[in-house]
Structure 1
Amino acid sequence: MAIAEESSASLTGTGTGTGAVRAAGRRVAPPPYDGSSPFPRDESTGQQRVPTWQLAFTALIVAFPFLALALAAWLLWGSVIGPADVVLGVLLYCVTGLGVTVGFHRGLTHGSFTPNRPVKIAMAVAGSMSFQGDVIGWVAVHRRHHAFTDRPGDPHSPFRFGTSLTGELRGLAHAHVGWMFTADTTPAAHYAPDLLADRDLRAVSRAFLGLCVLSLALPFGAGWLIGGSVHAALTALLWAGLVRVALLQHVTWSVNSLCHMIGQRPFRTRRHDRATNLWPLALLSFGESWHNLHHADPTCARHGVDRGQIDITAAVIRLLERCGWVRDVRWPAPGRLDTRRRA
């Protein structure tokens, strides 16, 4: 499904973090965004309180890297990481990471291809095991990000606080993790009605917490079976569970933050959209850091379209297409790319 640009009227809608304010009982649109000023404050979200359970759960997710480092220091005191830990970690990183990039992102958010039912469910389950949120909420937030990229309404733009040095440093932290602690909610009924209408995806969304538990139970159980001890199980839980989750989270969050501030912009995007290509993240993100082309042509199934741009996600989509498990893949068309490429 292509993501259409929001009309100027929709910028004053409720519940989307657009900065509209009330005056004399009516909603008044904020002044046009100039591309450098801090985003207008959204009075509606300012009056909301983030539920304690939501703050606690978000804090737990964000704290994974620190928990992993503490456990690593304890376990590595007199011991080393084993080959089974590495293999399990790489395997689960690929499964859950591709669940996000192939499934959550290019498939379900942007409709770059149409999967059959088993693949659709498998993608949603794998992506949910990444600890990045339930599938419907993830898709809704990302579609909203594309509707308002780097302007008021974008839930995680690094330019929320303006383009001064201080503003960009605050914005970088906000785009990376800070946005998850705000009361700025994204209504799934507005941004992901197709997913809400899908019985399979509603079931996967409800199972999110259980899938997070499974994401950690699998390496723990595999480590126990392979190593035959609790120590082996805990080591696998650390490296293939906690560290794997932490690394994948921060790679994904870096696409939100760094890939809007650092890198190249060979393709034209909408006004104020500063999405970039950041090659150092290409392998770890499975091709998602070729972010400039993605924002220039959001429904394209391949993001790394130029010579030497490795895009593992696109390769997996190609394999699924050849197996007959996905169809209607929107591969890059040279003519369409030429119209978007900077002179």
Structure 2
Amino acid sequence: MSSMMRSSPTSEAARPAEVAAPPSVAQPSQGYDGAGPFPVEADADAPAAPRGISDRLYVTVTAAIVVAPFLGLGLAGWLLWGSLIHPADVLLALALYVVTGLGVTVGFHRGLTHGGYRAVRPVRVALAVAGSLSFQGDVIGWVATHRRHHAFTDRPGDPHSPYRYGTHLRGQLRGLAHAHVGWLFRNEPTSAGRYAPDLLADRDIRAVSRAFPALCALTLALPFAAGWAIGGTWQRALTALLWAGLVRIALLHHVTWSVNSLCHMIGRRPFRTRRHDRATNLWPLALLSFGESWHNLHHADPTSARHGVDRGQIDPSAAFIRLLERVGWVYDVRWPTPDRVTARRA
């Protein structure tokens, strides 16, 4: 990889804008006060598909993606009863968690969604592949949904706000479940043409997006094959599949979903955000989320390549971006400056 060269300006996809959608897109519905449930017509940008075979198929596939890792966790617990987990399973799970997690945070999120840096094309594609191995959806759909979330944060139009059902106790509990996982079952696709036209124009990213089903199979086949190679038995292959495959996927899913849910309800808000935007910093998730849970600064300055900007705020994703910058594989990194950070403090 030391021979990688930067893509020419004509071949490099345009860096996404500052995430703010045009006024005609990002204006909240009339009468929304930040406390009541979202109006029913709020999701006009992404109407639900008619109830039919395609809708049932979507729900079935989503349920399999969400539930299968849980079943794996239960099976792993049953297998562990009275026995020990193999060290190789732990190491495989840790390695794949780091690779896929950084693929999501550095590749999908800080790079492709927000343009916090530019990457040489092989690294751009490799990070997109790594993020796709997380089982969180195809790269273009992921980016489009997240950009829409920023355009309408915690107000009508946000696909996964915990305030969808209001700010009273029952609404908050229902909203927390919706923001964490419930929104995945609504089958309300976000328009990639509106929110991710730059990725639709990128041939390599389109190819990665189309390959998502195959990459899902690969993310399970890799630990199975590694377990077989290390242990030489079906049992070792299956335990590796459970821990480095299903359990690893389940953990990363819930860490990512917790940023959508908990990091808009619990934690500190040292930085100013837009009206109705309640993004918070939640330190217990910082390491597991690779720095994504410093969510308040991220919503105050979405294109910043670093989210943890205060003393003691660990941000592994930013450290990885810095490493890539030093070896010349990413450039034009948008590091936060003291003046920029101070200007956004509450």
Tell me the TM-score normalised to structure 2 length.
Answer: 0.91
Distance 1:140 1:168, change over 3 A: same
Please show how residues 81-230 of structure 1 align to structure 2 within 5 Å.
81-230=85-234
* Preserved contact between residue 3 and residue 143 of structure 1 (Cα < 8 Å): no
Distance 1:305 1:72, change over 3 A: same
Aligned identity (percent) is: 71
* Preserved contact between residue 150 and residue 160 of structure 1 (Cα < 8 Å): yes
Superposed displacement of residue 106, structure 1? 0.1
Distance 1:174 1:212 in 2: 24
Find the counterpart in structure 1 of residue 37 from structure 2: 38
* Preserved contact between residue 113 and residue 326 of structure 1 (Cα < 8 Å): yes
Distance 2:219 2:259 in 1: 23
Task: Structure 1: give runs of 5+ residues left out of the alignment.
Answer: 13-17, 19-29
* Preserved contact between residue 256 and residue 289 of structure 2 (Cα < 8 Å): yes
Distance 1:4 1:232, change over 3 A: closer
The code of the aligned residue for 1:40 comes to P
The answer to whether structure 1 residue 2 and structure 2 residue 6 are counterparts is no
Distance 1:68 1:120, change over 3 A: same
Aligned counterpart in structure 1 of residue 50 of structure 2, from 48, 51, 73: 48
Superposed displacement of residue 7, structure 1? 4.1
CA-to-aligned-CA distance 1:239-259 (integer Å, 9 cap, x gap):
000000000000000000000
Find the counterpart in structure 1 of residue 6 from structure 2: none
Superposed displacement of residue 74, structure 1? 3.0
Tell me the TM-score normalised to structure 1 length.
Answer: 0.92
The answer to whether structure 1 residue 266 and structure 2 residue 289 are counterparts is no
Distance 1:47 1:230, change over 3 A: closer
Task: Structure 2: give runs of 5+ residues left out of the alignment.
Answer: 1-15
Aligned counterpart in structure 1 of residue 291 of structure 2, from 287, 290, 293: 287
Find the counterpart in structure 1 of residue 279 from structure 2: 275
Distance 2:189 2:229 in 1: 42
Superposed displacement of residue 47, structure 1? 6.8
Find the counterpart in structure 1 of residue 5 from structure 2: none
The answer to whether structure 1 residue 241 and structure 2 residue 252 are counterparts is no
The code of the aligned residue for 2:38 comes to F
Distance 1:219 1:7 in 2: 44
> Which deviates the most, 163-172 or 35-44?
35-44
* Preserved contact between residue 113 and residue 330 of structure 1 (Cα < 8 Å): yes
The answer to whether structure 1 residue 70 and structure 2 residue 69 are counterparts is no
Aligned length: 326
Find the counterpart in structure 2 of residue 15 from structure 1: none
* Preserved contact between residue 64 and residue 245 of structure 1 (Cα < 8 Å): no
Find the counterpart in structure 1 of residue 11 from structure 2: none
Distance 1:160 1:99 in 2: 29
Distance 1:7 1:118, change over 3 A: closer
* Preserved contact between residue 135 and residue 249 of structure 2 (Cα < 8 Å): yes
Distance 1:47 1:222, change over 3 A: closer
* Preserved contact between residue 255 and residue 288 of structure 1 (Cα < 8 Å): yes
CA-to-aligned-CA distance 1:91-131 (integer Å, 9 cap, x gap):
00000000000000000000000000110110000000000
* Preserved contact between residue 3 and residue 146 of structure 1 (Cα < 8 Å): no
CA-to-aligned-CA distance 1:40-88 (integer Å, 9 cap, x gap):
0128536733622211110011103421232113322342111000000
The code of the aligned residue for 1:9 comes to S
The code of the aligned residue for 2:159 comes to P
Point out 4+ residue stretches in structure 1 off by more than 4 angstroms.
none
The code of the aligned residue for 1:326 comes to V
Distance 2:107 2:294 in 1: 17
